[in-house]
Every structure is written in structure tokens, then in C-alpha cells.
Amino acid sequence: MAVATSETLVEELNEMTPEALFTWALENHGDRAGIITSFQDTGCVMIDIMSRVAPGIRVITVDTLRLHEETYRLMEQVEQRYGITIERFTPDPARLRKMIAQHGEYLFFDSKAKQEYCCNLRKVEPNQRALETLDVWFTGLRRDHSAFRVDTPKAQIVDRKGRKLLKIAPLVDWDDDRINAYIREHDVPKSELYDKGYTSIGCKICTTPTLPGEDKRAGRWRWFNALNADDSKECGIHSGGSGI
């Protein structure tokens, strides 16, 4: 089903509750609607809400093949808890081998350009392949994640390689207190990494714990912090990929 691009529809979606958004997506787009998550706390809450009001919406993740062991364990726990099969999109094997052969396994330490190249191959391209199977993309973006995300709408039309799709962040206006209260109330599975000081979770090495008072995404590519004080700390999935 093609995505309607009506401004009125987007306005209506921006006023809906998370429950109503999942129900609407399943009723109107079926298996062309899906949650894409890296299994941070917001993603796990989305899966729990979806399981209650719109079971059957797809759950998708980009497996960069460099995730924390805690993330892989959480994925297994989520599958068992909700009786679902998580769809995993991975990097192109041939391109991955070529990148490592040319630049080494840890090229992301060398320069910002190589870090973006690695993210593009391991995350952005698999994410794009996942999006090609969707008309409605549910994401865990929240306005309190960083200054770069403070104006994120709940629903918007985005252009991905000339194709329009609905990008919905159903919990965009939730904060940590509300997320954690929901997790406690519904006993939602949560990553062990939060208890180790992580506030944003991606690939191992490229994600580190944060200190009190730091931006939630300060732990991303920390070795670039001093040189890139104004960096958006985005991998490219939500801002467009890059390469070298």
C-alpha cells in the first residue's frame, strides 16, 4: 500500500497516542509497517506496547556484527518473551571484507570520514534495505536524546532514495522517568548495559558509558569529542549516510 502524503494525515498522526499509532499502522499497512530498533530502552517499550495493541507488526534490527554481547542476549530474551522472530539485516559480506582489507578492522579510529564509512556500510546500508520493505517506519528517537533531536516530530514524511515513507517516533516526547516507569510497571526486558553506565547503545568499542551530566549520546565515538564539540553524534541512519 502506498503511503498517503497528506499533510492532514501527518497532523492527525502527530496527535495520536503510541497505542493508536501502532493500531493505525497495522490496520492500514499490515506487514509494510515495522519497528526498527537497536534494543535500547525506548525500542523495548515500543515492542511491549505493540505486542499489547497491534501484535503482528514486524520487529527489525540492523545487526552490524559488532554489537555488545548484552545486546545479543537481550534480543533472544525479547523473542522468547513476546513470541516473535526479529528480522536481522546485516552488512553486505563482500563489501565488509573489502573495507576491512583496505582500511583494517578498527578504521573508525583513524578519521571521522572512516568512522562514517564504517557506519554507512555496517548500519546505514542495511537499514536502507530494511526500509525498502516498509511504508511505515517506527523508530525510538526521543527529543531528550540530544540537542540534534530536540525538534523531532512524532510523525513525518521522509524521502528515502526517492521513495516516500512515514517515519513515526511514537515515544518522541517521553523522558527517562516515563520510560523507566513503564518498564517497571510492565516488566519490560531492558539492556544490562544501562546498569553499566551506558545511556546510548550501539556497536561495541564505538559506544562507551557516559558521565553524569553528559549528553546521552556523548559516549558515541568518544575519541572524536574534543575535536568535534558540535558533532551531531549521528551514524547516518537518521541524517543520511556518508562514505569515503
Active-site residue numbers?
235
Q: What residues have CB less than 8 Å from 238, skipping those under 6 apart?
A: 139, 141, 149
CA–CA distance, 144 with 142 (Å, rounded to integer): 5
Find out whether 48 and 9 touch, Cβ atoms under 8 Å: no
CA–CA distance, 169 with 40 (Å, rounded to integer): 14
CA–CA distance, 130 with 147 (Å, rounded to integer): 27
Where do we find the cell 557506519?
119
* Phi, psi (deg, nearest 5) at residue 179: -60, -50
